[in-house]
Amino acid sequence: MSNPLLPHYDVIIIGAGSVGVPAALNLARNRVKTLVIDQYPSVGQGSNKRAIGGIRATHSDPAKISLSQRSIDIFSTWKDLYGDDIEWVQGGYCFVAYTDKEENSFKNLLVSQHKFGLNINWLDKKELLQVVPDLNPDGLLGGTFSPEDGNASPLLALHAFYQRAVKDGAEFHFQEQVKEIKTAAGKIQGVSTDQGDYSAEVVINAAGGWAEEIDELVGIKLPVRPDSHEAAITEPVQRFLNPMIVDVRPEPGSANYYFYQHTTGQIIFCITPSPSIWGFDTRETSKFLPMVSKRMIEVMPRLKNIRVRRTWRGAYPMTPDGFPIIGWSKSVDGYLLATGMCGQGFMLGPGLGELLERLVCDHLTEKDKEILPYVSPYREFAGQEQLK
Ligand SMILES: Cc1cc2nc3c(=O)[nH]c(=O)nc-3n(C[C@H](O)[C@H](O)[C@H](O)COP(=O)(O)OP(=O)(O)OC[C@H]3O[C@@H](n4cnc5c(N)ncnc54)[C@H](O)[C@@H]3O)c2cc1C
Protein backbone atom coordinates (compact mmCIF):
# COMPACT_ATOMS: atom_id res chain seq x y z
CA MET A 1 0.00 0.00 0.00
CA SER A 2 1.35 3.43 -0.88
CA ASN A 3 1.48 6.11 1.83
CA PRO A 4 -1.95 7.88 1.94
CA LEU A 5 -0.38 11.04 3.37
CA LEU A 6 1.71 11.73 0.27
CA PRO A 7 0.59 13.34 -3.00
CA HIS A 8 -0.42 10.35 -5.11
CA TYR A 9 -0.08 9.71 -8.84
CA ASP A 10 -0.79 6.63 -10.94
CA VAL A 11 2.46 7.21 -12.83
CA ILE A 12 5.58 9.28 -12.17
CA ILE A 13 7.81 9.91 -15.18
CA ILE A 14 11.43 10.83 -14.50
CA GLY A 15 12.53 13.15 -17.31
CA ALA A 16 10.67 15.80 -19.37
CA GLY A 17 12.57 15.07 -22.57
CA SER A 18 11.91 13.56 -25.99
CA VAL A 19 10.38 10.47 -24.36
CA GLY A 20 8.88 11.66 -21.07
CA VAL A 21 6.74 14.45 -22.51
CA PRO A 22 4.91 12.45 -25.22
CA ALA A 23 4.48 9.64 -22.69
CA ALA A 24 2.81 12.10 -20.29
CA LEU A 25 0.62 13.39 -23.10
CA ASN A 26 -0.71 9.92 -23.88
CA LEU A 27 -1.16 8.89 -20.25
CA ALA A 28 -2.99 12.11 -19.31
CA ARG A 29 -5.16 11.85 -22.40
CA ASN A 30 -6.23 8.42 -21.17
CA ARG A 31 -7.03 9.76 -17.69
CA VAL A 32 -3.98 8.33 -15.99
CA LYS A 33 -2.91 10.68 -13.18
CA THR A 34 0.63 11.57 -14.21
CA LEU A 35 3.47 13.58 -12.72
CA VAL A 36 6.61 14.38 -14.73
CA ILE A 37 9.69 15.46 -12.78
CA ASP A 38 12.70 17.13 -14.38
CA GLN A 39 15.80 18.61 -12.84
CA TYR A 40 15.90 21.41 -15.41
CA PRO A 41 13.69 24.54 -15.60
CA SER A 42 11.57 23.52 -18.63
CA VAL A 43 10.90 20.70 -21.09
CA GLY A 44 13.55 19.46 -23.50
CA GLN A 45 16.61 20.85 -21.72
CA GLY A 46 18.49 17.53 -21.67
CA SER A 47 19.32 15.93 -25.03
CA ASN A 48 16.04 16.87 -26.75
CA LYS A 49 17.02 20.46 -27.57
CA ARG A 50 20.39 19.28 -28.93
CA ALA A 51 18.76 17.07 -31.58
CA ILE A 52 18.90 18.43 -35.11
CA GLY A 53 15.32 17.40 -35.82
CA GLY A 54 15.75 14.45 -38.20
CA ILE A 55 12.78 12.07 -38.29
CA ARG A 56 12.97 8.82 -40.25
CA ALA A 57 11.33 5.43 -40.25
CA THR A 58 14.21 4.01 -42.28
CA HIS A 59 15.85 1.85 -39.64
CA SER A 60 17.02 -1.75 -39.79
CA ASP A 61 14.69 -3.43 -37.28
CA PRO A 62 10.91 -3.75 -36.89
CA ALA A 63 10.67 -2.03 -33.49
CA LYS A 64 12.30 1.25 -34.48
CA ILE A 65 10.61 1.18 -37.88
CA SER A 66 7.16 0.70 -36.40
CA LEU A 67 7.57 3.30 -33.61
CA SER A 68 8.97 5.88 -36.02
CA GLN A 69 6.26 5.24 -38.62
CA ARG A 70 3.70 6.08 -35.96
CA SER A 71 5.78 9.12 -34.92
CA ILE A 72 5.76 10.37 -38.51
CA ASP A 73 1.93 10.10 -38.54
CA ILE A 74 1.83 12.19 -35.36
CA PHE A 75 4.41 14.83 -36.39
CA SER A 76 2.92 15.21 -39.87
CA THR A 77 -0.68 15.70 -38.71
CA TRP A 78 0.00 17.68 -35.53
CA LYS A 79 -0.51 21.13 -37.05
CA ASP A 80 -3.80 20.16 -38.72
CA LEU A 81 -5.10 18.53 -35.55
CA TYR A 82 -3.93 21.00 -32.90
CA GLY A 83 -2.84 24.15 -34.73
CA ASP A 84 0.78 24.36 -33.49
CA ASP A 85 3.42 24.77 -36.17
CA ILE A 86 6.18 22.33 -35.20
CA GLU A 87 8.02 23.02 -38.51
CA TRP A 88 7.35 19.55 -39.91
CA VAL A 89 8.76 19.16 -43.44
CA GLN A 90 8.47 15.91 -45.38
CA GLY A 91 11.72 16.20 -47.35
CA GLY A 92 12.73 12.54 -47.18
CA TYR A 93 16.05 10.91 -46.26
CA CYS A 94 18.79 9.95 -48.65
CA PHE A 95 21.65 7.57 -47.73
CA VAL A 96 24.33 8.17 -50.37
CA ALA A 97 26.69 5.46 -51.67
CA TYR A 98 30.14 6.27 -53.04
CA THR A 99 31.59 2.78 -52.57
CA ASP A 100 30.43 -0.77 -53.34
CA LYS A 101 30.40 -1.50 -49.63
CA GLU A 102 27.66 1.08 -48.92
CA GLU A 103 25.75 0.19 -52.08
CA ASN A 104 25.64 -3.50 -51.12
CA SER A 105 24.76 -2.83 -47.51
CA PHE A 106 21.91 -0.41 -48.39
CA LYS A 107 20.56 -2.80 -51.02
CA ASN A 108 20.66 -5.73 -48.58
CA LEU A 109 18.82 -3.67 -45.99
CA LEU A 110 16.12 -2.76 -48.49
CA VAL A 111 14.89 -6.36 -48.45
CA SER A 112 13.91 -6.20 -44.77
CA GLN A 113 12.87 -2.55 -44.97
CA HIS A 114 10.38 -3.45 -47.72
CA LYS A 115 9.19 -6.41 -45.66
CA PHE A 116 8.39 -3.99 -42.83
CA GLY A 117 6.41 -1.80 -45.22
CA LEU A 118 8.80 1.12 -45.68
CA ASN A 119 8.52 3.40 -48.66
CA ILE A 120 12.21 3.41 -49.60
CA ASN A 121 13.99 2.64 -52.85
CA TRP A 122 17.41 2.47 -54.41
CA LEU A 123 18.04 5.26 -56.93
CA ASP A 124 20.90 4.96 -59.37
CA LYS A 125 23.26 7.89 -59.88
CA LYS A 126 21.13 9.62 -62.52
CA GLU A 127 17.90 9.22 -60.59
CA LEU A 128 19.50 10.36 -57.35
CA LEU A 129 20.93 13.49 -58.98
CA GLN A 130 17.42 14.40 -60.05
CA VAL A 131 16.33 14.33 -56.39
CA VAL A 132 19.53 15.97 -55.05
CA PRO A 133 21.15 17.85 -57.98
CA ASP A 134 23.97 19.26 -55.83
CA LEU A 135 25.51 15.94 -54.80
CA ASN A 136 29.08 15.50 -55.98
CA PRO A 137 28.66 13.23 -59.05
CA ASP A 138 32.31 12.02 -58.96
CA GLY A 139 32.25 8.43 -57.79
CA LEU A 140 28.57 8.57 -56.84
CA LEU A 141 26.97 5.13 -57.28
CA GLY A 142 23.46 5.99 -56.11
CA GLY A 143 21.63 5.89 -52.83
CA THR A 144 18.40 5.13 -51.05
CA PHE A 145 15.57 7.62 -50.95
CA SER A 146 12.67 7.46 -48.50
CA PRO A 147 10.29 10.32 -49.33
CA GLU A 148 8.05 9.99 -46.26
CA ASP A 149 10.79 10.81 -43.74
CA GLY A 150 11.37 14.42 -42.74
CA ASN A 151 12.26 16.83 -39.98
CA ALA A 152 10.66 19.04 -37.34
CA SER A 153 11.74 21.33 -34.53
CA PRO A 154 12.55 19.37 -31.34
CA LEU A 155 11.82 22.34 -29.09
CA LEU A 156 8.60 23.43 -30.83
CA ALA A 157 7.35 19.84 -31.00
CA LEU A 158 8.13 19.07 -27.38
CA HIS A 159 6.58 22.33 -26.25
CA ALA A 160 3.42 21.56 -28.23
CA PHE A 161 3.22 18.07 -26.66
CA TYR A 162 3.83 19.62 -23.22
CA GLN A 163 1.04 22.19 -23.57
CA ARG A 164 -1.38 19.50 -24.71
CA ALA A 165 -0.32 17.18 -21.87
CA VAL A 166 -0.95 19.95 -19.31
CA LYS A 167 -4.37 20.67 -20.87
CA ASP A 168 -5.19 16.99 -20.48
CA GLY A 169 -4.23 17.03 -16.80
CA ALA A 170 -0.56 15.96 -16.60
CA GLU A 171 1.47 17.74 -13.90
CA PHE A 172 5.06 18.83 -14.43
CA HIS A 173 7.55 19.71 -11.71
CA PHE A 174 10.67 21.47 -12.98
CA GLN A 175 13.93 22.18 -11.20
CA GLU A 176 13.32 19.15 -9.03
CA GLN A 177 15.70 16.21 -8.96
CA VAL A 178 14.71 12.61 -8.22
CA LYS A 179 17.01 11.27 -5.53
CA GLU A 180 15.36 8.04 -4.48
CA ILE A 181 12.83 5.52 -5.77
CA LYS A 182 10.85 3.90 -2.98
CA THR A 183 10.05 0.20 -3.19
CA ALA A 184 8.53 -2.30 -0.75
CA ALA A 185 8.39 -6.07 -1.25
CA GLY A 186 9.73 -5.62 -4.80
CA LYS A 187 7.02 -3.10 -5.76
CA ILE A 188 7.25 0.58 -6.65
CA GLN A 189 5.87 2.87 -3.91
CA GLY A 190 6.92 6.30 -5.18
CA VAL A 191 9.85 8.68 -5.43
CA SER A 192 11.70 11.18 -3.26
CA THR A 193 13.14 14.31 -4.76
CA ASP A 194 15.18 17.20 -3.37
CA GLN A 195 11.82 18.86 -2.71
CA GLY A 196 9.43 16.21 -1.49
CA ASP A 197 7.99 12.70 -1.56
CA TYR A 198 5.32 11.34 -3.89
CA SER A 199 3.59 7.99 -4.05
CA ALA A 200 2.82 6.10 -7.25
CA GLU A 201 2.27 2.57 -8.51
CA VAL A 202 4.37 3.08 -11.62
CA VAL A 203 7.65 4.91 -12.22
CA ILE A 204 8.90 5.39 -15.79
CA ASN A 205 12.60 5.90 -16.30
CA ALA A 206 12.76 8.42 -19.18
CA ALA A 207 15.97 10.00 -17.93
CA GLY A 208 17.93 9.83 -21.21
CA GLY A 209 21.69 9.98 -20.63
CA TRP A 210 21.09 9.79 -16.86
CA ALA A 211 19.17 6.49 -17.15
CA GLU A 212 21.87 4.40 -15.46
CA GLU A 213 21.80 6.61 -12.36
CA ILE A 214 18.03 6.18 -12.11
CA ASP A 215 18.24 2.40 -12.63
CA GLU A 216 20.79 2.24 -9.82
CA LEU A 217 18.15 3.66 -7.45
CA VAL A 218 16.23 0.37 -7.84
CA GLY A 219 19.31 -1.82 -8.04
CA ILE A 220 19.15 -2.47 -11.79
CA LYS A 221 22.17 -2.31 -14.09
CA LEU A 222 21.46 -1.64 -17.77
CA PRO A 223 23.93 -0.22 -20.26
CA VAL A 224 23.12 3.40 -21.26
CA ARG A 225 26.04 5.80 -21.63
CA PRO A 226 26.02 9.48 -22.63
CA ASP A 227 27.84 9.63 -25.97
CA SER A 228 28.89 13.13 -26.98
CA HIS A 229 27.95 14.50 -30.42
CA GLU A 230 28.33 17.95 -31.94
CA ALA A 231 26.06 19.79 -34.34
CA ALA A 232 25.89 23.15 -36.12
CA ILE A 233 23.67 25.52 -38.04
CA THR A 234 24.58 27.86 -40.91
CA GLU A 235 23.21 31.14 -42.14
CA PRO A 236 19.92 30.80 -44.08
CA VAL A 237 20.12 30.52 -47.88
CA GLN A 238 17.59 30.07 -50.67
CA ARG A 239 16.08 26.58 -50.74
CA PHE A 240 18.11 24.07 -52.80
CA LEU A 241 17.98 20.83 -50.80
CA ASN A 242 15.03 18.69 -49.79
CA PRO A 243 16.12 15.41 -48.16
CA MET A 244 18.37 14.78 -45.17
CA ILE A 245 21.68 13.56 -46.63
CA VAL A 246 23.41 10.77 -44.72
CA ASP A 247 26.93 9.58 -45.52
CA VAL A 248 27.87 6.50 -43.47
CA ARG A 249 31.47 6.10 -44.70
CA PRO A 250 33.91 6.09 -41.81
CA GLU A 251 36.99 8.33 -41.90
CA PRO A 252 39.72 8.83 -39.33
CA GLY A 253 38.10 10.67 -36.42
CA SER A 254 34.49 10.24 -37.51
CA ALA A 255 31.85 7.73 -38.57
CA ASN A 256 28.67 8.92 -40.28
CA TYR A 257 27.47 12.51 -40.64
CA TYR A 258 24.18 13.95 -41.81
CA PHE A 259 22.74 17.30 -42.88
CA TYR A 260 19.59 18.90 -44.25
CA GLN A 261 18.20 22.30 -45.11
CA HIS A 262 15.75 23.58 -42.56
CA THR A 263 12.46 25.07 -43.70
CA THR A 264 13.83 28.54 -42.83
CA GLY A 265 16.89 28.04 -45.09
CA GLN A 266 19.72 27.07 -42.72
CA ILE A 267 21.79 23.91 -43.16
CA ILE A 268 21.82 21.88 -39.93
CA PHE A 269 24.40 19.15 -39.52
CA CYS A 270 25.94 16.67 -37.15
CA ILE A 271 28.74 14.08 -37.08
CA THR A 272 29.48 10.92 -35.10
CA PRO A 273 32.95 11.02 -33.54
CA SER A 274 35.03 7.87 -33.82
CA PRO A 275 36.09 6.68 -31.33
CA SER A 276 33.12 7.78 -29.24
CA ILE A 277 33.56 10.59 -26.72
CA TRP A 278 31.77 9.43 -23.59
CA GLY A 279 30.31 11.77 -21.00
CA PHE A 280 28.20 14.89 -20.52
CA ASP A 281 30.78 17.51 -21.55
CA THR A 282 28.83 20.03 -23.65
CA ARG A 283 31.72 22.39 -24.46
CA GLU A 284 32.25 22.62 -28.23
CA THR A 285 35.53 21.23 -29.58
CA SER A 286 37.91 22.77 -32.11
CA LYS A 287 38.00 19.51 -34.09
CA PHE A 288 34.34 19.27 -35.03
CA LEU A 289 33.92 22.02 -37.63
CA PRO A 290 37.08 21.37 -39.70
CA MET A 291 36.30 17.64 -39.75
CA VAL A 292 32.62 17.82 -40.66
CA SER A 293 32.82 20.74 -43.10
CA LYS A 294 35.57 19.02 -45.14
CA ARG A 295 33.42 15.91 -45.43
CA MET A 296 30.25 17.83 -46.31
CA ILE A 297 31.96 19.88 -49.01
CA GLU A 298 33.32 16.68 -50.57
CA VAL A 299 29.79 15.34 -50.92
CA MET A 300 28.17 18.68 -51.76
CA PRO A 301 30.75 21.17 -53.15
CA ARG A 302 28.10 23.90 -53.31
CA LEU A 303 28.30 24.21 -49.50
CA LYS A 304 31.84 25.59 -49.56
CA ASN A 305 30.96 29.28 -49.08
CA ILE A 306 28.14 28.98 -46.60
CA ARG A 307 28.84 30.52 -43.17
CA VAL A 308 28.31 28.65 -39.95
CA ARG A 309 26.39 30.58 -37.31
CA ARG A 310 26.59 28.35 -34.23
CA THR A 311 27.72 24.96 -32.97
CA TRP A 312 26.59 22.98 -29.94
CA ARG A 313 27.15 19.65 -28.28
CA GLY A 314 25.00 17.12 -26.48
CA ALA A 315 24.63 13.48 -25.57
CA TYR A 316 23.13 10.49 -27.34
CA PRO A 317 21.92 8.09 -24.61
CA MET A 318 23.75 5.12 -26.17
CA THR A 319 23.26 1.38 -25.72
CA PRO A 320 25.90 -1.13 -26.85
CA ASP A 321 23.75 -2.44 -29.72
CA GLY A 322 22.16 0.86 -30.79
CA PHE A 323 18.61 -0.21 -29.88
CA PRO A 324 16.50 1.41 -27.14
CA ILE A 325 15.53 -0.28 -23.87
CA ILE A 326 11.76 -0.45 -23.51
CA GLY A 327 9.76 -2.65 -21.15
CA TRP A 328 8.86 -3.57 -17.59
CA SER A 329 11.47 -4.54 -15.06
CA LYS A 330 11.11 -8.14 -13.93
CA SER A 331 12.74 -7.46 -10.56
CA VAL A 332 10.82 -4.31 -9.51
CA ASP A 333 7.09 -4.42 -10.06
CA GLY A 334 5.85 -1.12 -11.56
CA TYR A 335 9.23 0.06 -12.87
CA LEU A 336 9.04 0.78 -16.60
CA LEU A 337 12.12 1.42 -18.74
CA ALA A 338 12.07 3.84 -21.68
CA THR A 339 15.77 4.56 -22.03
CA GLY A 340 18.74 4.25 -24.41
CA MET A 341 17.22 6.13 -27.37
CA CYS A 342 20.68 6.64 -28.92
CA GLY A 343 20.55 9.16 -31.80
CA GLN A 344 16.83 8.68 -32.39
CA GLY A 345 14.93 9.70 -29.27
CA PHE A 346 13.20 12.66 -30.87
CA MET A 347 11.90 10.63 -33.80
CA LEU A 348 10.89 7.67 -31.60
CA GLY A 349 9.24 9.83 -28.90
CA PRO A 350 5.64 10.26 -30.13
CA GLY A 351 5.22 6.60 -31.21
CA LEU A 352 6.89 5.45 -28.01
CA GLY A 353 4.66 7.72 -25.91
CA GLU A 354 1.64 5.80 -27.20
CA LEU A 355 3.31 2.44 -26.57
CA LEU A 356 4.17 3.43 -22.99
CA GLU A 357 0.52 4.30 -22.36
CA ARG A 358 -0.50 0.86 -23.71
CA LEU A 359 2.08 -0.81 -21.47
CA VAL A 360 0.83 1.05 -18.39
CA CYS A 361 -2.87 0.55 -19.16
CA ASP A 362 -2.30 -3.05 -20.26
CA HIS A 363 -3.81 -2.94 -23.72
CA LEU A 364 -0.90 -3.94 -25.95
CA THR A 365 -1.65 -4.59 -29.61
CA GLU A 366 -0.43 -7.65 -31.50
CA LYS A 367 2.10 -5.38 -33.21
CA ASP A 368 3.40 -4.18 -29.80
CA LYS A 369 3.89 -7.78 -28.70
CA GLU A 370 5.79 -8.47 -31.91
CA ILE A 371 8.21 -5.55 -31.55
CA LEU A 372 8.84 -5.43 -27.79
CA PRO A 373 11.31 -8.36 -27.75
CA TYR A 374 13.63 -6.36 -30.06
CA VAL A 375 13.97 -3.64 -27.42
CA SER A 376 13.65 -5.80 -24.31
CA PRO A 377 15.74 -4.83 -21.26
CA TYR A 378 16.55 -8.55 -21.04
CA ARG A 379 18.09 -9.03 -24.49
CA GLU A 380 21.76 -9.91 -24.90
CA PHE A 381 22.84 -6.49 -26.30
CA ALA A 382 24.95 -8.50 -28.73
CA GLY A 383 23.46 -7.40 -32.09
CA GLN A 384 24.16 -4.17 -33.92
CA GLU A 385 21.66 -1.70 -35.39
CA GLN A 386 22.95 -1.07 -38.90
CA LEU A 387 21.62 2.46 -39.37
CA LYS A 388 22.25 3.89 -35.93
C1 LIG B 1 23.89 16.64 -31.65
C2 LIG B 1 22.71 15.72 -31.55
C3 LIG B 1 21.88 15.53 -32.66
C4 LIG B 1 20.78 14.69 -32.57
N5 LIG B 1 19.94 14.58 -33.65
C6 LIG B 1 18.82 13.82 -33.55
C7 LIG B 1 17.90 13.74 -34.63
O8 LIG B 1 18.10 14.35 -35.67
N9 LIG B 1 16.79 12.98 -34.47
C10 LIG B 1 16.53 12.29 -33.31
O11 LIG B 1 15.52 11.59 -33.24
N12 LIG B 1 17.40 12.34 -32.27
C13 LIG B 1 18.52 13.08 -32.36
N14 LIG B 1 19.39 13.15 -31.30
C15 LIG B 1 19.18 12.27 -30.15
C16 LIG B 1 18.09 12.77 -29.22
O17 LIG B 1 18.39 14.09 -28.81
C18 LIG B 1 18.00 11.83 -28.01
O19 LIG B 1 17.91 10.49 -28.42
C20 LIG B 1 16.75 12.14 -27.19
O21 LIG B 1 16.66 13.51 -26.88
C22 LIG B 1 16.73 11.30 -25.93
O23 LIG B 1 15.47 11.51 -25.32
P24 LIG B 1 15.23 11.18 -23.80
O25 LIG B 1 13.86 11.62 -23.46
O26 LIG B 1 15.61 9.76 -23.55
O27 LIG B 1 16.33 12.07 -23.02
P28 LIG B 1 16.30 13.68 -22.75
O29 LIG B 1 15.60 14.41 -23.85
O30 LIG B 1 17.70 14.04 -22.41
O31 LIG B 1 15.41 13.76 -21.44
C32 LIG B 1 15.83 13.19 -20.23
C33 LIG B 1 15.46 14.15 -19.11
O34 LIG B 1 15.64 13.48 -17.85
C35 LIG B 1 15.96 14.46 -16.90
N36 LIG B 1 16.55 13.81 -15.72
C37 LIG B 1 17.58 12.95 -15.69
N38 LIG B 1 17.83 12.55 -14.43
C39 LIG B 1 16.94 13.19 -13.65
C40 LIG B 1 16.68 13.19 -12.23
N41 LIG B 1 17.40 12.47 -11.38
N42 LIG B 1 15.68 13.96 -11.77
C43 LIG B 1 14.93 14.74 -12.61
N44 LIG B 1 15.14 14.77 -13.94
C45 LIG B 1 16.11 13.99 -14.45
C46 LIG B 1 16.95 15.35 -17.64
O47 LIG B 1 17.04 16.62 -17.05
C48 LIG B 1 16.35 15.39 -19.05
O49 LIG B 1 15.58 16.55 -19.28
C50 LIG B 1 20.49 14.00 -31.36
C51 LIG B 1 21.31 14.22 -30.24
C52 LIG B 1 22.40 15.08 -30.33
C53 LIG B 1 23.25 15.29 -29.11
With a cut of 60, say whether residue 1 has pLDDT above it. no
Q: What does the pLDDT look like over 346-373, one tens digit per residue?
A: 999 999 999 999 999 999 999 999 999 9
Q: What is the pLDDT of residues 51-97, one digit of tens each?
A: 999 999 999 899 999 999 999 999 999 999 999 999 999 999 999 99
DSSP of 202-240: EEEE--GGGHHHHHHTTT-----EEEEEEEEEEEE----
The whole-model pTM stands at: 0.96
Give the total residue count for the chain: 388
381 CA to centre of ligand 1 in angstroms: 21
Pocket of ligand 1 (CB under 6 A): 14-20, 37-40, 45-48, 50-54, 177-178, 206-210, 229, 231, 270, 314-317, 341, 343-347
pLDDT at 179 over 60: yes
Query: Are the C-beta atoms of residues 93 and 256 closer than 8 Å to each other?
Result: no
Q: Which atom of ligand 1 is nearest to the CA of 231?
A: 1
How far is it, in rounded angstroms, from Cα 337 to Cα 334? 10
CA-nearest residue for atom 8, ligand 1, is 54
* CA distances to 148, 181, 211, 229 from 85, in Å: 18, 37, 31, 27
Tell me what pLDDT residue 131 has. Answer: 98
* From 13, 225, 260, 346, mutation site for ligand 1 pocket: most ligand atoms within 8 A of C-beta: 346
- Cα-Cα-Cα-Cα dihedral sign, residues 321, 324, 330, 335: positive
CA of residue 18 to ligand 1 center, whole Å: 6
**336 to each of 201, 215, 261, 357, 360, how far by Cα in Å?**
11, 10, 37, 11, 8
By the 10 Å C-beta count (0-12 exposed, 13-18 middle, 19+ buried), 119 is classed as middle
Q: What are phi and psi of 8, to 5 degrees?
A: -115, 140
